[in-house]
Amino acid sequence: MSKAAEIDIVSVSKIYGTTTAVESISLKIPAGTYCCLLGPSGCGKTSTLRMIAGHESISSGDIRLGNSVVTDLPPAKRGTAMMFQSYALFPHLDLVDNVAFSLKMKGLGKDQRRAKAMDMLRLMQLEAYATRRPAQLSGGQQQRVALARALITDPEALLLDEPLSALDPFLKIRMRAELKKLQTSLGITFVHVTHSQEEAMALADLIVVMNDGRIEQAAPPRDVFERPATAFVARFMGDHNVISGRVIKSEGDGLMLSVPAGGDFLAVGAETAGLTDTADIAVRTDHVRIGEPSEKGLGFTGSVTNIEYRGSSVKLSVSGAGIEDFTAILSDTAFFANPVKVGAAIPLAWDRTDAIMLGKLKH
């Protein structure tokens, strides 16, 4: 297998007519990293992947792979391989010929390319199916054939466009483990587009959260989860409540925020210098306690609007203090030790360290 390559995206934009799909993004993906581009539909993640692959032209900026600028190179000359969402297998060819197809295009002899294709099918534990056609395989097997076909060219980086979206939930989880194992054993750079937070958290060494053509945060999963950079990341990851308000005063290592027609809340770790008059605070949903009086600025009393039982946890939705939809995730033990009903008024509380100041993306 060839060595992994660092991918360096330098001020890259993609403009379609009057629409900017990707706006001047810069990102370094270290060699051998499993990187997930994460975000909602239309955020620019697939355009970014296709520009790395060479399937989409770059409007401005450069992409480097290792030591080479690949901005103007065709896909086959880049040292990358792309696995498409649809798998794009040839229905009339057996698995060996499907996997060997790109080597055939490169003019490699039949015996040589079939031997290499068999090696790849062995790697994917599919050698027993070598003479079958794609229609005779399950979705998970088809996906492994598409992976084998992409990897046979010895790429320095494998690019995956929503590779798990067509699979059922149980198979998704199994294939996630397979992809991670494969990336670790091959040691090459994987760039994987997904809109699933859970998938990105499970797979990535580096999560790149995109929104509206720009990068909101690029960091390891734990940093994205524990310290979201912006209100968008906090909301999109779904593990934080975002409280927005007007800055009324700064005190010590934090500041006080006033929610319109609501309560005052404290945020810590705030860079008070150069702050605008409005700010956002993130509060971890699983660090909210119920039924306890709170310290000033670190809680409120609200009305329970919805309760969802999730097995090991219970999700409460609460409104009050000018906040319409506030979430508390409790363990099932904690909830059933002291259950509440929809409509109940309950005090909510959290610690100082759980209310963090969010940054704003500079336009």
> What distance in Å separates the CA atoms of residue 164 and residue 172, rounded to the nearest whole number?
6
> What distance in Å separates the CA atoms of residue 78 and residue 292, rounded to the nearest whole number?
59
**pLDDT above 90 as % of the chain:** 67
Ramachandran area for residue 276 (φ above 0: left; ψ -120 to 50: alpha; else beta): beta
Q: Do domains 7-226 and 231-358 have the same CATH topology?
A: no
pLDDT for residue 87: 74
Which range, 54-58, 118-122, 126-130, is most confident? 54-58
- Give the global pTM: 0.90
Cross-strand bridge partners of residue 189? 157
Tell me the per-residue pLDDT of 263-299, one tens digit each, with 9 for 90 and over: 999 988 756 545 568 889 999 999 999 998 888 999 9
Extents of the domains making up the chain: 7-226, 231-358
Tell me the per-residue pLDDT of 210-264, one tens digit each, with 9 for 90 and over: 999 999 999 999 999 999 999 999 999 999 999 999 998 887 778 899 999 899 9
Residue given tokens 């590779």 in the structure block? 163
pLDDT for residue 49 is more than 90: yes
Q: Please work out, in degrees rounded to the nearest 5, the angle formed at the alpha carbon of residue 99 by the alpha carbons of 93 and 102.
A: 100
Instruction: Please report, for residues 2, 16, 60, 71, 180, the alpha-carbon distance to residue 50 in angstroms, rounded to integers and kept in the order given.
Output: 22, 14, 14, 12, 22
Residues contacting 100, CB < 8 A, separation 6+: 108, 113, 114, 116, 117, 152
Report the CATH fold assignment for 231-358.
OB fold (Dihydrolipoamide Acetyltransferase, E2P) (2.40.50)
CB 104 within 8 A of CB 149: no
Q: How many of the other CB atoms lie within 10 Å of CB of 214?
A: 19
User: In what side-by-side order are the strands of the sheet with 189-194?
Assistant: 80-83, 157-161, 189-194, 34-38, 206-211, 214-219
Q: Does domain 7-226 have CATH number 3.40.50.300?
A: yes
- 56-65, 66-75, 105-114: least confident range: 105-114
Cross-strand bridge partners of residue 193? 37, 161
Q: What's the farthest any 2 CA atoms get from each other in the chain?
A: 76
Q: What is the dihedral of CA 98, 104, 106, 108, to 10 degrees?
A: 130
Tell me the per-residue pLDDT of 9-22, one tens digit each, with 9 for 90 and over: 999 999 999 999 99
pLDDT for residue 107 is more than 50: yes
**Average pLDDT of the chain, as a whole number:** 91
Residue given tokens 């490699």 in the structure block? 108
